[in-house]
Amino acid sequence: MGPLVPDIIGNEFDLVIALILGIGFGFILEQAGFSTTKKLVGLFYGYDFTVLRVFFTAGVTAMIGILVLGHFNLLDLSLLFINPTFLYAALVGGAIMGVGFILGGFCPGTSVCAAAVGKIDAMAFLLGSFLGIVLFIEGFSIWGDLFIMESMGDLKMNEVFGLSPELFAVIITLVAIGAFVMVTRIEDKVNGRKSSYSTKKMATTFSYAIAPVLIIGILSFTSNHTESVKSDVAEKLSNNTKINEIAADEFSSKLIESYYDFNVIDIRSKEEYKKSHLPLAINIPVDSLMNKEWGNYFTQNHKANVFYGDDFNNVKRAYFTAENIGKAENYGLIESHNEFKALYYNLEQPDKDKRKELDVYKFRKKMGADLTKLEDAMMKFSQPVKKKATKAKGGCA
Amino acid sequence: MKAKPYMNPYLAGVLLGLVLLLTVYLTGRGLGASGAIKSIVIETVQTVTPEHAENTAYYSSFKATHPEGPLRSWLVFEVLGVLIGAFLSGVISDRVSLKLEKGPQTTKKVRILAAIAGGMFFGFGSQLARGCTSGAALSGMSVMSFGGIITMMAIFGSAYAVAYFFRKLWIRG
């Protein structure tokens, strides 16, 4: 599941990937004509809208691609870098860049491309960018406040309008297609060409919109991976499907015998876990089971997962969810956390004449002591490894 | 040799979109450009006037958050790739030559000065807005970032607003 950096691809190789992706980026920009300032500024004088076509098509393609990958659980959208919003800095900075675009005829990425194929004006633009950034840094105390004003966090455009990402993508796609038709008309007029847009051709252009809109439509009407797991879990719960149950005594003796064969998983909240938990237990609250960071527990096949909590229904929910994620062996502990504690740690000695109960008492007393010993030994040996899914860093600044 | 024609813009757009998508899938982040120039600025200042870099809050906090040094950054390597990729493309399509492009009514000197001034504006603005057309506008759009999309609208809105006043740089009229 993406993003592959840093968990699947290491941070060292990340730089090699950067170089390779950059080559693709530069190659396509140059092929599209972004290495000549005449094409770039054509956008602002109406004679050549190549930039708008390439830019919008690329943005829509990537946007829809990200939705598709997220839908099929190939990419964890919560880990992506979302450019943070600082309202005034974005508006003022953008406006300043706009002036730079008209004066210089490039933006930073296109100037690198143009410089690579020998455009002297692009090299001058790069020199200017260098100086502009020096100026920004040297005077940072003056505009530092503006830089951080109106911080709105990882805000997304569709959230601002209260739309689903899918609907927003459809709107952007339609706006893009509308813009393509409009700018072709403007181009024809400015260049004094006869209109190249017959009704038929316009219909063809609009038919291009069918593919992306159809893709998004399918996405919004089929349930995504998370939703289908949830509905499967709900179905199994309501059907009272059986799970692999394990009782406290059996579990405890197995744990003492071979603790390394088990992942003990506390599905209660973080706070409850902190207060008290079973020996060697890690905490995965039942609602966060599907997060990428825990994926390895459910896909591995050399340890059995034992779930426990307060409520056996939640244990079953965790069990069914885990079953959906991977093929690891899973068990649900019949006893709740408190029952387990009571069984081994808060024992009351029965009367001497009740032989059978006395045996159980002795057995559990020893078990409790062994569990504590095991826990102490493991504490010294190692803390459970805490894995955290890393949110991607990004942006230009 | 005559330069080959440019690629169909929609095809180029789809391909560019796929490169961006692959970037997001692999790394969780988007493409960029201006950040690499910033890294070069910081490296240069640290090398040329280390004392000044020590005493300026911006440089020292950058140093603290980037212990590996400014040049070991994702964007620096990506932009190196852009240079290579664009050059390859230029070679394939016979477009590599030292050339100064300018509007029909502009002198070379004016064009160079305007390019430097434009670069200064763009460089400055990209730092204030935390990204340029690549990092903020294009990559921001793909993840529906509000900040990225309003930055994009501000760039193009402002460029259209001032285009008329600088038309002599680019067109007859």
Q: 3-state class of A287 per DSSP? A: helix
Q: Is the pLDDT of residue B83 over 70?
A: yes
b/e burial code for range A350-378 (CB count within 10 A of at least 16 → b): eeeeeeeeeeeeeebeebbebbeebeeee
Q: Does A2 touch chain B (CB under 8 A)?
A: yes
* Whole-number pLDDT of residue A221: 77
* Whole-number pLDDT of residue A124: 97
DSSP string, A142-174: HHHHHHHSSEEES-BHHHHTT--HHHHHHHHHH
Q: What is the mean pLDDT of residues A108-129?
A: 96
Q: Please, which pLDDT band fits residue A325 given cuts at 50, 70 and 90?
A: confident
Partners of A99 on chain B (C-beta within 8 Å) are 118, 121, 125, 158-159, 162
> Which residues 88-147 of B have a C-beta within 8 angstroms of A?
88-90, 93, 95-102, 111-112, 114-147
Lowest mean per-residue pLDDT among A261-275, A310-324, A345-359, B110-124:
A345-359
Q: What is the mean pLDDT of residues A280-285?
A: 90
CA distance B48 to chain A (A): 13
Q: pLDDT by residue (tens digit) across A72-105?
A: 888 988 889 999 999 999 999 999 999 999 999 9
* Whole-number pLDDT of residue B97: 93
Spell out the residues 6+ positions from residue A76 whose beta carbon is closer than 8 angstroms to its own: A1, A2, A3, A70, A292, A389
Which carries the bigger pLDDT value, residue B82 or residue A235? B82
Both tokens assigned to B91: 């070679």
Q: Is the pLDDT of residue B58 over 60?
A: yes
**DSSP H helices in chain A:** 11-32, 37-45, 50-71, 87-104, 108-116, 120-138, 140-148, 157-160, 165-190, 199-208, 210-221, 225-238, 248-257, 270-275, 295-299, 312-325, 337-344, 355-381
What's the whole-number average pLDDT of chain A? 87
Q: pLDDT by residue (tens digit) across A17-74?
A: 999 999 999 999 999 999 999 999 999 999 999 999 999 999 999 999 999 998 888 8
* Whole-number pLDDT of residue A326: 83
Q: Is the pLDDT of residue A397 over 60?
A: no
Q: Please, which pLDDT band fits residue B91 given cuts at 50, 70 and 90?
A: very high
Same domain, B89 and B20: yes
Which carries the bigger pLDDT value, residue A298 or residue A351? A298
> Which residues 272-301 of A have a C-beta within 8 angstroms of B?
none
Q: What percent of chain A has pLDDT over 90?
A: 42
Q: How do beta strands A262-266 and A304-308 pair?
A: parallel
Same domain, B10 and B66: yes
Same domain, B4 and B81: yes
> Which residues 39-98 of B have a C-beta within 8 angstroms of A?
40-42, 44-45, 56-59, 72, 74-75, 77-90, 93, 95-98
Alpha-carbon distance of B20 to A335, in angstroms, equals 50
Q: Are the Cβ atoms of A97 and B31 closer than 8 angstroms? A: no
Q: Please, which pLDDT band fits residue A214 given cuts at 50, 70 and 90?
A: confident
* Whole-number pLDDT of residue B15: 96
Same domain, B129 and B169: yes
Which sequence spans correspond to the domains of chain A?
A: 11-225, 230-381
Question: Exposed, middle or buried by CB within 10 Å (0-12, 13-18, 19+), for B43?
Answer: middle
Q: Which residue in A17, A78, A106, A133 has the most chain B C-beta atoms within 10 A of its own C-beta, making it the best mutation to test that interface? A: A133
Q: Is the pLDDT of residue A395 over 80?
A: no
Of B98, B119, B150, at which residue does a domain stop?
Answer: B98
CA distance B133 to chain A (A): 7
Q: Is the pLDDT of residue B1 over 70?
A: no
* Whole-number pLDDT of residue A58: 96
Q: Is the pLDDT of residue A385 over 70?
A: no
Q: What is the mean pLDDT of residues A286-308?
A: 85
CA distance B120 to chain A (A): 4
Same domain, B106 and B166: yes
Q: Are A297 and A390 in contact (CB under 8 A)?
A: no
Of B98, B113, B146, at which residue does a domain stop?
Answer: B98
Partners of A140 on chain B (C-beta within 8 Å) are 57-58
Q: Does B33 touch chain A (CB under 8 A)?
A: yes
Alpha-carbon distance of B131 to B145, in angstroms, equals 12
Same domain, B67 and B106: no
Same domain, B17 and B82: yes
Question: Exposed, middle or buried by CB within 10 Å (0-12, 13-18, 19+), for B140?
Answer: buried
Same domain, B15 and B60: yes
Q: Is the pLDDT of residue A252 over 60?
A: yes
Q: pLDDT by residue (tens digit) across A171-213?
A: 999 899 889 888 988 988 888 887 766 777 777 777 777 778 7
Same domain, B56 and B73: yes
Lowest mean per-residue pLDDT among A10-14, A16-20, A131-135, B62-66:
A10-14
Q: Are the Cβ atoms of A24 and B75 closer than 8 angstroms? A: no
Same domain, B93 and B105: no
Q: Are the Cβ atoms of A25 and B85 closer than 8 angstroms? A: yes
> Which residues 377-396 of A have a C-beta within 8 angstroms of B?
391-396
Q: Please, which pLDDT band fits residue A120 given cuts at 50, 70 and 90?
A: very high
Alpha-carbon distance of A294 to A291, in angstroms, equals 6
Q: Are B118 and B155 in contact (CB under 8 A)?
A: no
Of B98, B114, B148, at which residue does a domain stop?
Answer: B98
Q: What are the φ and ψ backbone dihedral angles of A245, each rounded to 5 degrees?
A: -100, 155
Q: Structurally, how many domains does chain B consist of? A: 2
Same domain, B123 and B149: yes
Q: Is the pLDDT of residue A388 over 70?
A: no
Owning domain of residue B57: 1-98
Fold of A230-381: Oxidized Rhodanese; domain 1 (3.40.250)
* Whole-number pLDDT of residue A396: 61
Same domain, B23 and B41: yes
Question: Does ipTM come in above 0.90?
Answer: yes
* Whole-number pLDDT of residue A384: 55
